[in-house]
Amino acid sequence: MKEFLRIALNLLIISLVSAALLGLVFTRTENIRKHNEQARLETSMGRYLDPSAGPAHYARIHRYLVERPGQAAAVGYVLPVRGGGNAFLLLTPGGEVLSATPLDGPVDDEAERDATLARALPGAAVHYADSYILALDAAGHRMASFIQGRTGGFKTWVHLLVALGPDGSVKGLEVLHHEEDPGLGAEIEQEYFRNQFAGRTLDELRKLGVVRLPLPDDYRRCLERSKWAARGLDPQREEDVCARYGHEDIHAITGATISSRRVTEGVKRLVLAFVKRMEIVERTARSAGLEPAF
């Protein structure tokens, strides 16, 4: 019995000390980690904004799936309204307005948002789906839209950030997080793959496929933009090459056709869904008496 107590106590103390240490490190690092992530996201977004247009401010739209007891499922959008503050727009999956309620609490953090939504929609269950970020200039014109979403990779989720121009064409693709194989699927991070998406219009995107052909050498050189200066190539000529190949299908990464295909499908799905949803939101928000801030 004494042995039993000694062993149990021994393990308990080790676990307690370990838990205390982990708790301490977590509280010290968690906010910094979140801050880093936010900073990284903003740097990534800043790359697609024209610095001459002045500083951008960001309008964030969060999409939720809403379940209310005894009623059909609905889609909800948290969106900023003109003059400050946020509102919650509740729609049927078909795009009919159910309700529009002003939100009376902070919505920046995911936990804050959940609390605010719980107060605005008592009894309903809300499930976070995804977020859209619109970059606006001082006059409130849209400079770019950013879609944060994920797509199934070869192994687990690949988290993407797609930048769209005001006309809906793709400005760029960033891979925020992935767990693909180093040297193979991980190449989706490389410029020569990501930059193949830049400049695609919505119509091109709908038909976009993936081909298993080696990347032509001159196209690769124009895709690897950060190496231009170092290689001493004429930017104008490279621009022409890019324009020539830029309307063909995506060239898959050698040995990673699945990753290439999934990312391409993901970009298509995210962009097309975004365009459709934004159209519905803009149309319905005004009819529901809301003045969105974008």
- The footprint of other proteins (CB under 8 A) covers 6-7, 10-11, 14-15, 18, 21-22, 25-26, 28-30, 32-33, 36-37, 40, 177, 179, 181-184, 254-255
Q: Among residues 179 and 291, whose Cβ is nearest to other proteins?
A: 179
In the bound state with other proteins, the residue whose beta carbon lies nearer, of 11 and 211, is 11
CB of 35 to other proteins, least distance (A): 9
Length of the chain: 294
Separation between Cα atoms, residue 234 and residue 239, nearest integer Å: 9
3-state SS assignment for residue 64: strand
Give the span between the Cα atoms of 257 and 262, in whole angstroms: 9
Residue 6: other Cβ atoms inside 10 A: 10
Q: What count of other Cβ atoms lies within 10 Å of the Cβ of residue 143?
A: 17
Q: In angstroms, what is the minimal distance from the CB of 109 to other proteins?
A: 17
Which CB atom, from 137 or from 181, has the smaller least distance to other proteins? 181
Distance CA 67, CA 74 (A): 7
Q: Smallest distance, Å, CB 13 to other proteins? A: 8
- Kind and range of the H or E run holding 222: helix 217-223
Helix and strand tally (H, E) in the chain? 8, 10
Q: How do beta strands 157-164 and 170-177 pair? A: antiparallel
Closer residue to other proteins in complex, CB, 181/218:
181
Bridge partner list, 61: 132
Q: Please, what is the minimum distance in Å from the beta carbon of residue 264 to other proteins? A: 22
- Calculate ∠ Cα 274-276-281, nearest 5°: 90
CB nearer to other proteins: pick between 94 and 182: 182
Tell me the backbone φ, ψ of residue 242, rounded to 5 degrees: -60, -40
Smallest gap from Cβ 3 to other proteins, in A, equals 8
Shortest Å, Cβ 37 to other proteins: 8
CB of 123 to other proteins, least distance (A): 37
Q: What minimum distance in Å lies between the beta carbon of 8 and other proteins?
A: 9
- When the beta carbons of 124 and 184 are compared against other proteins, the nearer one is 184
Count other C-beta atoms under 10 Å from residue 267's C-beta. Answer: 23
Cα distance between residue 166 and residue 241, in whole Å = 25
* Residue 9 vs 138, nearer CB to other proteins: 9
Closer Cβ to other proteins, 61 or 188, answer by number: 188
* Antiparallel, parallel or unpaired: β 210-211 and 250-251: parallel
